[in-house]
Structure 1
Amino acid sequence: MNKISLAYTPFQHILWSFCLIVLFVLGGGDAEAGELSERLANFPQWEKLTSVQPTSGDLIYPGWMAGTWQVKSTLVDLAAPLAPDIVTPGFEGNRRQLNQPVSFLVRFIKRSPFTGLKFLSRGDEKSAILIADRAFNSLNLARAYLGDEAVLSVKVDPESPNRQITFLRSKCSEGRFCDRQLVSLVTARATETTPDGKFITTEVFQQLFKGGSHPYFNSVESTTAYRQLSTSNPAIDADQVTAVYLSPQDPDYFAAASRPVALYRYRLEFFPAELLATSKE
């Protein structure tokens, strides 16, 4: 008889499995050479990463990712490595997302490495770093999946770019609407640049879903390989895998050990937003 883990819900997966592309807040922590690219190549044979480092500061993206992009995200594969013994309740339902692209805007912005401000002085221009506009990106992504009315706002902790809260509204008992929160905390990460120019990142984060009868906690890892293309249609593509791990509160936690209970693989395509706007005129 199959065991069904109660630790993960379809609602949370829809919102966060791809949100990670815009939540990268990496500081230091290079992976061993080739480890992350090898990890993607070994899908779905995954174990929990051991070479990631504790978080500190923002992820600095390569300059070719600067600007505003229309992103098309497509779920292309999924796996339940511990099935039939352990399967998350949302896994089978998420098969409906296969090959169904979802589009939304994201942007990457320059910031002063000294003051942390997005508005640069003349002296900061040459030393500016490129980061994700996390609140803008996450809000657009969440609304693309859940609708404008379901996602109230997204706030990034001004004291820590590693902590973010998404404020949600959904139906609860007796036809009423209830406000809920999804708190995401990035705890570890690593990066890698391959000889052929791919920029690979991985992040491990904890998320807490509040507002239901019982708060829910779990652990998620996302590994993404970005590649600059020679065209503008798209200009960047990426291979992303999101892995879901059980939390210690789950009764199957020790049975799962260090193995993920669900894996989702996405193809990401980045189109320059200004080109799309011009083509519609």
Structure 2
Amino acid sequence: MLAMKVIWSFCLIFLFLLCQGEAAAGELYERLTNFPQWEKLTSVRPAMGDLIYPNWMMGSWQVKSTLEDLIAPLAPDIVTPGFEGNRQYLKQPISFQVRFVRETTPHPGLKIIPQTRSKSAVVADRPFNGLNLARAYLGDTVLSVKVDPDSPNRQITFLRGERQLVTIVAARATETTSDGKFITTEVFQQLFKGGERPYFNTVESTTAYRKLAEFNSAIEADQVTAVYLSPQDPDYFKAGSRPVALYRYRLEFIPTEEVPTIP
């Protein structure tokens, strides 16, 4: 049960991409609109470099995440471990802090568009954000979070009892709507080590962010996380390409300090 709670806790991902990985116009928007009728992974491209956030994400934020809905599309035949236990989070806000900073030393593979080459990119403070998110759900069971210095797409969460959750970003996509929403998708592989046997799965997180200028630069977001079985799971072929669990969240970002205006 603890393993699945850890895996679910890291389904909350904040994503923005630079230029690579653009989805077909409207594809991600349609995907959110069609919830919960999801049949397979969306169109994505291999992840390269760090995730680049818009300038208005710069600064420190208090985030309130509320699970609005959870669905097991293949129940009762296939229900992932921990799914029923996650009902305790339904309509229960979870709060934690995150921050986004200027990256002065880009990771290998980071692409900067020519017109912004003179400015460093805005990126997530991954160890800070990951640790705060994990502890919001799991408390002091979480010891630390480390990001691979050679790849921002590989993160390890260290837990008590010599357990680890390894998260590897595999692919991403993004699009911008005419009303200013940034919609992103990230697909990542997760490996939980330290139990009786390693546990693998694939997670897809699609999020639409919107800046609320009329509310002191607050941000809101609609997010759907889909969990797919890995080939190592005995029910993998039975599930096919379909998700075995879907979670929908409402996210609210409130600045905890004066957020600088970026020209």
Question: TM-score, with normalisation over the residues of structure 1?
Answer: 0.83
Structure 1 residue matching 2:156: 3-state secondary structure: strand
Contact 2:3/2:192 (8 A) holds in 1: no
Q: What corresponds to 1:164 in structure 2?
A: 155
Q: Does 1:137 align with 2:129?
A: yes
Aligned-pair CA distance for 1:114: 6.0
Contact 2:203/2:228 (8 A) holds in 1: yes
Structure 1 segment 161-200 matched on structure 2, within 5 A: 161-169=152-160, 178-200=161-183
Gaps of 5+ in 1: 1-5, 117-123, 170-177, 276-281
Counterpart CA distance in 2 for 1:142 and 1:115 is 24
Q: What corresponds to 2:228 in structure 1?
A: 245
Contact 2:6/2:138 (8 A) holds in 1: no
1:25/1:218 CA distance change after superposition, 3 Å: farther
Q: CA RMSD in A?
A: 2.1
Counterpart CA distance in 1 for 2:87 and 2:151 is 35
Counterpart CA distance in 1 for 2:163 and 2:192 is 8
Counterpart CA distance in 2 for 1:237 and 1:26 is 18
Q: What corresponds to 2:47 in structure 1?
A: 55
Structure 2 counterpart of 1:75, from 51, 58, 67: 67
Structure 2 residue matching 1:93: 3-state secondary structure: helix
1:140/1:114 CA distance change after superposition, 3 Å: closer
Q: What corresponds to 1:103 in structure 2?
A: 95
Q: What corresponds to 2:253 in structure 1?
A: 270
Percent of matched pairs sharing the same residue: 70
Structure 2 residue matching 1:49: 3-state secondary structure: coil
Contact 1:113/1:127 (8 A) holds in 2: no
Partner amino acid, structure 1, of 2:148: D
Aligned-pair CA distance for 1:52: 0.3
Counterpart CA distance in 2 for 1:155 and 1:114 is 17
Q: Does 1:17 align with 2:11?
A: yes
Counterpart CA distance in 2 for 1:211 and 1:35 is 38
Q: What corresponds to 2:111 in structure 1?
A: none
Q: How many residues get paired?
A: 250
Question: TM-score, with normalisation over the residues of structure 2?
Answer: 0.89
Partner amino acid, structure 2, of 1:167: F
